[in-house]
A = this chain, B = another copy of it.
Amino acid sequence: MSKKRFATATEQNLFRIFTIPEAPDSTLAKIEQEVSQNLDGFLRENIVAVEKPLSDIEQDFQESLVPERPQFVSDVADELLHKLVAQSVHTSSPSFIGHMTSALPYFLLPLSKLMVGLNQNLVKIETSKAFTPLERQTIGMLHRIAYGQGRTEAENEAYYDAMMHSADASLGAFCSGGTIANISALWVARNTLLGPQPGFKGVAKEGLFRAMMHYGYKRLVVLVSERGHYSLGKAADVLGMGRQDIVSVGTDENNKIRIDLLEQKIAELKAEGAGILALIGVAGTTETGNIDPLDAMADIAEREGIHFHVDAAWGGATMLSENARPLLKGIERADSITVDAHKQMYVPMGAGMVLFKDPHSTDVIEHHAEYILRKGSKDLGSHTLEGSRPGMSMLVYACLKVMGRSGYQMLIDRSIDTAKYFAELIKQDPDFELVSEPELCLLTYRYVPKPVKDYMATCNQEEREIINELLNDLTKFIQKKQRESGKSFVSRTRLTPKAHNGQTITVFRCVLANPLTTKEILQDILAEQKEIAKDSWRSLPAILKKVGLTA
């Protein structure tokens, strides 16, 4: 069989791409072999070291016309290798510590291929059969991790035996990611709060406008700390509450919601006749990895009868470590929990989950259709936001089995240790400033050369603010330069730390989840940042002088 296949559109050629696999010596087969045998090596070899400017990359993706004639698979594979892979991001590199992506367990590669080959559609049992009970089981396992702690083993066995595969129960759902999980949870909360009553068929049927009229709420709000994920604003917009009805509550110096301010807000909102749709606890803020005092929040939610949602998209995996789990104390009281398996559960992109404490809580979003999702069926699609979905639960399930709880514990604990080590390294270096201490495996810091730091200790607030502005530019400069040079990557964000009187500070943001990230790599990252900064920060005193300050 020739390596060059299917360059003319004849039916025979078309059938060949559906029936005959790639030849072992084809370009695509070779790419696959390299990916299978040494993914890191393949990526290091094929991703260019130095980043091209985006506008240059775009030149390679300029053609808007679908080509008329078929092209050889090998030519397309070549094109993808040289234009796309070469300019993509080595997200699994141990020195890529800027975002959530990490190295993945190798067995997920062949397993993903199996998943694609099976191409099951989880919306309905007819197109997924055993994948439906598998997904229910995987959700059941996570549900038990989250909620099973207060029960005896026998109680748990009885509970999950009854609930896991019940047609009337739903312990949660898989979805594409944390955003859809958060929207699903708030959708359930909204439809529960504004449910049917005599003379009113409920918000699901009659809509939000009539629901507000019926219930007499002037406003419908969601309470979350000012560190809540940006997807919550999206959720509020989509669900018809409006972005301004995400009511931000101030945080303490550790980015945790302040209970006193929360109480105050609730009192204010009740006084103005607002309905409180949900209180959201953040378990792992996106920017600093801090966890809200979930137990205290659960007390308030319980007292007020408010839906308590925990956004543990990041921190959910932490429940798998007995050592770290106490950080999440109170999560077991949440009415719903968001967990992203593609974050610290080490599964590839597209594996979000939402868990519901009460397996009947999704009744308020249930829907049916004639050709699928008939009433009484166990079709998963009858209570999910999405319709057709792939069998991602197979990957999550396989990870839970291959790693075991103790394996996950080791990974979680290690990531926190790595973050603590890096924090120490930063603190010991006089030219850096640790901005947020790691609680999970996230931390933030910035480069502040010692002379500048010394000067800032003595100068007045106004001067400090001006210097911080200059440092913000410097941080941004270092972060971009480091990314472009392609050896390592930290991200950046803007925080308003108490230590700087709430001034907005640009910081480096690190996520230390990759188990292959070594101490040496972290040392190198700091060294590289100093090197990049060397010439720039020397100009600071001159700049200070220019703006009328002496350094």
Contacts and interface: CB of A to CB of B under 8 A. Distances in A.
B6 A203 contact: no
Interface string A54-88: 10011011111111111111001101100111111
Given A110-B31, A114-B32, A244-B207, A516 B120 contact: no
Contacts of A287: 370-371
A105 B61 CA distance: 23
A365 B114 CA distance: 37
A70 B108 contact: no
A66 B404 contact: yes
Interface string A88-122: 11011000001111011111111111101111110
A21 B9 contact: no
Contacts of A127: 89, 91, 99, 101
A375 interface: no
A67 B405 contact: yes
Interface in A18-32: 18-22, 28-29, 31-32
Interface stretch (A248-256, A388-396, A420-428, A527-535): A388-396
A247 interface: no
B207 A36 contact: no
A235 to B, nearest CB: 10
Q: How many copies of this chain does one complex carry?
A: 2
B136 A61 contact: yes
A58 B244 CA distance: 45
Interface in A114-143: 114, 116-121, 124-134, 136-137, 140-141, 143
Contacts of A320: 66
Given A65-B141, A183-B238, A43 B118 contact: yes
A157 to B, nearest CB: 7
A403 B140 CA distance: 42
A21 B370 CA distance: 46
Given A92-B119, A239-B240, A240-B207, A28 B110 contact: yes
Contacts of A175: 176
| 8 closest Cβ pairs, A-B complex | A240-B240, A207-B242, A371-B493, A87-B130, A64-B160, A230-B369, A208-B240, A32-B110
